[in-house]
Amino acid sequence: MTPAILVLNVGSSSVKFRVFAARDDLQLLADGRVTGIGAAPVFRLAGQDPKALEEGTTQTEAIAQVLDFVTASDHHWQLVAAGHRIVHGGEEFRAAVLLDEEVLARLDRYTPLAPLHQHHNLAAVRAVAELNPALPQVGCFDTAFHADHDPVTSSYALPASVRKQGVRRYGFHGLSYEWTAKVLAGQPGGMPKHVVVAHLGNGASLCALKDGNSIDTTMGMTALEGLPMGTRCGALDPGVVLYLQRSLGLSLEDVERLLHDESGLKGLSGGVSDMAELLHSARPEHAFAVDYFILRVAQKIGEMVVSLGGMDLLVFTGGIGENALSVRERIVSRLAFLPRFKVQVIAADEERMIASHALALISLSSG
């Protein structure tokens, strides 16, 4: 039997999973997902035909399907841990942790700060605990990689009485940036001193790496701040929110939906959030959305360069960063005024980073 680690990344309508061998090389054993949860669910496994699941399959039932697949006798895998991506760890959770109900109760407090993700992340942990109570589970946080930022970087210009309530910049996509730093450190010549990493996908942000450590990032207290994204607005004058409520009569729920689900590329283009579709379109509003995105990314890279005091390397990762050559080229072109720097593309692998943390924790707990 091969000891195996299941990595789960759970959203509102999907369960993405990978299975890794629980050894140092973390061999990938399986890669799949359940999509269409709540509508027409489909179990998809890399290299195999998709399988339709029963209509109305819940998130817990989808996770049960994944566990059944992993523990099927013909695989000869012994599941030893489940690792989870948890978006928000607040100030409290600065490294991966073993999960239990007491820890989950503390993590519930951060759900309002990541309403698109946190609830689903934690529900998945509880579902696995219900289905396999004896299985160790490990939580890995998108905020943890940024936990040591200087207060000058992590603070908002608000009174101390507010800042003491946890109102600060946390940053996200930390698992992606941690993986990128690990890849760079293992390359010939090692880690460059000043690196800006652009994680560009449906969610998008930047990170300033100095000697492999995060010293600044574009997302803030929530995953709304910073770059425009697929459906999220990015940086926005807070006065706009006041105006939307006070003068346009939008409710709190209306504003939340607008900023999270109807803005970004989708709002700019008139309904399209997918960069590949925008790039292949001749419609002027689609070109405008792409132009806006490229300008804002280049501008924010400039901010990261200031924090670093220079840039030796610009790394692109994420779905757009890895696959949209024209977007990369146009961003780099806008940075031509900077002293010469190298450009590299690194494939994101947050799941392998989670598996690495899970393996380390279960080894410690058993050793």
Active site (catalytic) residues: 142
Helix (H, G, I), strand (E, B), or coil: what is residue 280? coil
Torsion of CA 15, 19, 22, 23, to 10 degrees: -130
Nearest to 292 by CA among 219, 351, 234, 224: 234
Residue type at position 285: E
The residues facing 33 across adjacent strands are 16, 44
Cα 345 to Cα 328: distance, rounded to the nearest angstrom: 10
Q: Rounded to the nearest 10 degrees, what angle do helices 252-261 and 238-246 cross at?
A: 130
Distances 157 to 190, 200, 219 between C-alpha atoms, Å: 37, 27, 16
Distances 283 to 271, 273, 276 between C-alpha atoms, Å: 12, 14, 13
Cα 121 to Cα 175: distance, rounded to the nearest angstrom: 15
Are 31 and 49 in contact by the 8 Å Cβ rule? The answer is no
Cα 6 to Cα 127: distance, rounded to the nearest angstrom: 14
Are 226 and 204 in contact by the 8 Å Cβ rule? The answer is yes
Are 85 and 34 in contact by the 8 Å Cβ rule? The answer is no
For residue 171, the tally of other CB atoms under 10 A from its CB is 29
Q: Where are the alpha helices (DSSP H) in the chain?
A: 59-71, 101-108, 118-131, 151-154, 160-163, 174-185, 238-246, 252-261, 264-269, 275-279, 284-308, 318-323, 325-334, 350-366
Distances 305 to 41, 61, 206, 322 between C-alpha atoms, Å: 44, 46, 11, 21
